[in-house]
Amino acid sequence: MYQKIILEGGRRLKGEVTISGAKNAALKLMAAALLLEDTSEIYNIPELTDVVTMASLLQTLGAEVDYDIKEKKIIINATNINNVEAHYDFVSKMRASFVVLGALVGRFHEAKVALPGGCSIGERRIDLHIKGLEALGAQVKIEGGYVIAKAKKLVGTKIYLDRPSVGATENIMLAAILAEGSTILNNAAQEPEIIDLANFLNAMGADVNGAGTSEIIINGVKQKDLKAVTYTTIPDRIEAGTYIAAIAATKGKAIIKNIFPNHLSAVTSKVIEMGGKVTILDPFSMEISCNTRLNATNIVTQPYPGFPTDLQSPFISALLMAEGISIITESIYENRFRQIGELRRMGADVQQESHKAIIKGVKQLTGAQVIASDLRAGASLVVAALCADGTTEISDIHHIDRGYEKIVDKLSGLGAYIKRVDIDETNLDGKIINIEENSY
């Protein structure tokens, strides 16, 4: 059944919202479970379609997967893996699944993994993934849309990444865990999700040091050294940042719970520049408030600890009605302004010039029918709709469901007028569901 979101804008968000487990961490922990001839029990798993996709992929490889949505946990028993091919049907839907490559090569010394897909937000090369595996001793080729890697054995070495790629860092870490000797990875990605993966690996018996810095050292261990693990995923800093943008944009006041505030320093610094107020309440929550029109600001996306590329889209929407002209520079992905045309339908004055979005604040946005082109573009449209006068209908919301757990319920809890609608594919009529829970 196709669905869309109907949102009546113009209400200040207030109350509190609890952030889910980090999608970009949970998916990599699930892939890392393939290294273990035993069971991984992972908590704080978000209820997302991407998690279902990864679980299905692991099952095709021979893993036993028990995904308990109510308890937000997943149990993966990878003892009897009997297949090293990650099929196109799964990997083409979600780029994060490509990290099974490192885990399979690390444990079995071979893998056949489809070239990655996911949101079309720009070129996302795999050259550094291949470079890292080859440095460890694997022979790698691309054939028929698949990456095929084989190795007689893997041996630790020094590897320098030309850019701090998150995916390449993760794949090299996973491949190096069971390699002979030590691997020193320089210019590694420093994202919190990398630290979470390293902590998970160490909890199962691996020896990873330096995660969160530009140099990660992986001392190889034996398969027998790895043991069953129980672990809790970090909170989702991107989901948290999206709600921060929405609260500030609607001149709201709300508490955001289940977060690590230090993961959001680049984001909250910009909110303060924009005229919002940020109050850290305790180690796991903060209050965001804004009672005036936001100020324009300039943002440049950078690898962590810089401003996240995944939050560029919702912050464009937060700045659409700011006082003055804002410039957002996207330095990571070249196609991450795909929502601009849809925002113009809502009355936004925003132009793209190469890798920059130039935003001239307007007095008011107007609700319209818009389409989500990818995950973060969908989040951008939700933030804009919250600020707009009138009703906005957002289609293709399956993109949003990939990364935002229960977004309708959470925004309803903050006072938004929002509903999820079933659409009959034949006549495109909408039928409102969950009327009692989310009624206007």
Q: Kindly provide the residue ranges of all beta strands, DSSP E only, lying in 258-399, ordered along the sequence.
A: 277-282, 285-289, 298-300, 325-329, 349-353, 356-360, 369-371, 391-395
Cβ distance 36 to 228 under 8 Å? yes
Q: Residue 267 in 3-state DSSP? A: helix
Global confidence as pTM: 0.94
**Which structure tokens are listed for 18?**
């609890």
d(CA 174, CA 90): 20
Confidence bin at 383 (pLDDT 50/70/90): very high
Q: Which of 354, 320, 318 is nearest to 337 (CA)?
A: 354
Q: Identify the pLDDT of residue 303.
A: 95
Q: What is the pLDDT of residues 54-110, one digit of tens each?
A: 999 999 999 999 999 999 999 999 999 999 999 999 888 888 899 999 999 999 999
Name the band, by pLDDT with cuts 50, 70 and 90, for residue 123.
very low
CA distance 28 to 30: 5
DSSP letter for 211, please.
Answer: B
Which H or E run includes 253? Answer: strand 253-257
State yes or no: pLDDT of 20 exceeds 70: yes
Cβ(352)–Cβ(340) under 8 Å? Answer: yes
DSSP string, 96-107: GGGGHHHHHHHH
For 325-340, write each residue's pLDDT tens digit.
999 999 987 667 889 9
Residue 131, classed as helix, strand or coil, is: helix
**Which residues, in sequence order, are CB contacts of 426 under 8 Å at separation 6+?**
none
- Could you tell me which residues come within 8 angstroms of residue 360 by beta carbon, excluding any fewer than 6 positions away? 325, 349, 350
DSSP designation for 347: T
Q: Is 387 a catalytic residue?
A: no
Strands 253-257 and 285-289 turn out to be antiparallel
Is 27 within 8 Å of 50 (Cβ atoms)? yes
**Rounded alpha-carbon distances, angstroms, from residue 33 to 42, 76, 164, 251, 326:** 10, 7, 24, 43, 43
- pLDDT band with cut points at 50, 70 and 90 for residue 125: confident
Nearest Cα neighbor of 316 from 367, 378, 363, 373 is 378
Q: Which of 151, 203, 179, 158 is nearest to 38 (CA)?
A: 203
Catalytic residue, chosen from 5, 35, 119, 288, is 119
Q: What is the pLDDT of residues 292-303, one digit of tens each?
A: 999 999 999 999
Q: How far apart are CA 88 and CA 93, in angstroms?
A: 8
Q: Closest Cα partner for 17 from 287, 208, 283, 280?
A: 287
- What stretches of 168-252 adopt beta strand conformation (E)? 182-186, 207-209, 215-219, 229-232
As a whole number, mean pLDDT of residues 172-183 equals 98
- At 431, is the pLDDT very low, low, confident or very high (cuts 50, 70, 90)? low
Helix (H) or strand (E) holding 51: helix 49-60
Predicted pLDDT at 336? 74
Residue 96 confidence (pLDDT): 85
pLDDT of residue 435: 32
Which domains does the chain carry? Answer: 2-19+235-438 (3.65.10.10), 23-232 (3.65.10.10)
pLDDT at 2: 85
Percent of the chain past pLDDT 90, that is, above it, reads 89
Position 439 pLDDT exceeds 70: no
**pLDDT band, very low/low/confident/very high, at 120 (cuts 50, 70, 90):** very low
Summarize pLDDT for 218-250 with one digit per residue, the tens. Answer: 999 999 999 999 999 999 999 999 999 999 999
**CA 239 – CA 376 distance, rounded (Å):** 10
Q: Quote the pLDDT of residue 122.
A: 38
Q: How many CA atoms lie within 13 A of 152 on its CB side?
A: 0
Q: Is the pLDDT reported for residue 128 higher than 90? A: yes
User: Are residues 321 and 361 in contact, defined by beta-carbon separation less than 8 angstroms?
Assistant: yes
Q: Does residue 413 have a pLDDT over 70?
A: yes
